[in-house]
Amino acid sequence: MAAVLAALAACAPPPPGQTKEAPERDGALRLEPTSFAQLPGWGEDRLAAALPAFQRSCEKWRTQPPTRSLGVAGKVADWLPLCDAAANIPAEDPRAVRYFFESRFLPYQALNGSDPDGLFTGYYEAELNGSRTPDERYRVPIYAKPEDLVSVSLGGFRSDWKGERISGRVQNGRLVPYPARAEIERGALKDRGLELFWVDDALDAFLLHVQGSGRVKLADGSVARVGYAGDNGHPYVSIGRELIKQGAIRREDLTMPAIREWIEAHPAEGIALLARNPRFIFFREISGEGPIGAQGVALTPGRSLAVDTALLPLGVPLWLDTTHPLQPPDTPLRRLMVAQDTGSAIKGPVRGDFFWGYGEDAAKWAGVMKNTGRYYLLLPRQPGA
């Protein structure tokens, strides 16, 4: 069987929209056909755990025009027959799930020019203590999206701007930049009724902005969920890189726990450090399943991956080959994922952000994950392949 799969890979056609002679330059996504037999650890994963995530992406595709382009993954119409098949697979039958993926898809290794390796980090659903009204304890606001915030997708104006977006507000008939983080924290949005919640820790609020979604534990024991609603359009500046620049933390020691420890030990400098990231996130309260990723579907802990949507389409299954952040050195983390989210720091052909879920373990794993790895796209098997 391995020989047959390898032979199929050797004669597999290039993915839609790409030739096998694609240029080998850094920053350019290149896909090389391979086989399931060559995917490290493919036979060891419980593929059924990823099926619900793929089915959620299918529901999103069903609401879109069949002719909509998915870039290297073809068009929505190419995926709808696979979605129909996936809907009828019993998730409790692991053999049926494995047969579905191996018979309906072909794997392609993603390369950054000629380099197969990239960086994989982690994120989680932040947890905060909060209230719907402010008091002496709950003093840090979580803002809803302002009505005057305008977000423009530049791909509608020029094809080479696909995936690029700009945000601001209209002033005297012109689109101008929205206030940066420091201005907002000094009160630029005060008294506009935009406060969704008030939380008790400024650093936790900042980390909520970094993660993009979270759970607010209220004093009465209930939990409210918030998700990304928009941003002020300013570029994201990594406070970790800022700490490295000023010599506060060595690059090899940079983790989220290390950043938190430094800020707690230097509270005045910490406030100034957070303000160096001008990007500011606005939220909405979410009911039902969550958190919601960039594709508009609920993320699945351990199975949803954030990718660079300028290069990869959301909804596509990927085989991830990296290592676990806290297990013994070189412990493999290999599993079937689905591209369902993105992030301002997730840039490049081989770059991913692993969604760990919520809770103490999720925060711990996400905070230290900074691993080299590879991934492989699973694209629809073309007729006769």
Domain ranges within the chain, ordered by starting residue: 2-120+301-380, 122-286
Cα end-to-end span (Å), the chain? 15
pLDDT the model gives residue 295: 95
- Provide the 3-class DSSP secondary structure of residue 76: helix
CA 326 to chain centre: 20
CATH code of the region 2-120+301-380 = 2.40.40.10
Residues sharing a CB contact under 8 Å with residue 49, sequence separation 6 or more, in sequence order: 302, 303, 335, 336
| φ, ψ dihedrals at 195, nearest 5° | -75, 115
pLDDT the model gives residue 289: 84
Global confidence as pTM? 0.77
Which DSSP letter does residue 36 get? G
**Rounded to whole angstroms, what are the CA distances from 178 to 149, 196, 206?**
7, 20, 18
- Measured CA to CA, the distance from residue 300 to residue 196 in angstroms comes to 25
- Measured CA to CA, the distance from residue 3 to residue 34 in angstroms comes to 12
- Measured CA to CA, the distance from residue 162 to residue 277 in angstroms comes to 25
Specify whether the CB–CB gap between 60 and 296 falls below 8 A.
Answer: yes
DSSP 240-271: HHHHHHTTSS-GGG--HHHHHHHHHHSHHHHH
**Rounded to whole angstroms, what are the CA distances from 214 to 140, 220, 240, 259, 283?**
15, 18, 21, 19, 10
Q: Give the strand pairing for 332-341 and 304-306.
A: parallel
CATH code of the region 122-286 = 2.40.240.50
Residues sharing a CB contact under 8 Å with residue 225, sequence separation 6 or more, in sequence order: 213, 214, 215, 216, 285, 286, 287, 290, 291
Specify whether the CB–CB gap between 196 and 142 falls below 8 A.
Answer: yes
Sign of the C-alpha dihedral computed for residues 72, 102, 97 and 78 taken in this order: positive
**Over the chain (385 residues), what is each successive 10-residue block's mean pLDDT?**
36 39 59 97 96 97 96 96 95 93 97 95 92 95 96 86 86 94 94 95 91 90 92 92 92 86 91 93 90 93 96 97 87 97 91 93 89 97 67
Burial bucket for residue 62 (CB in 10 Å: 0-12, 13-18, 19+): middle
Q: Give the strand pairing for 351-358 and 304-306.
A: antiparallel
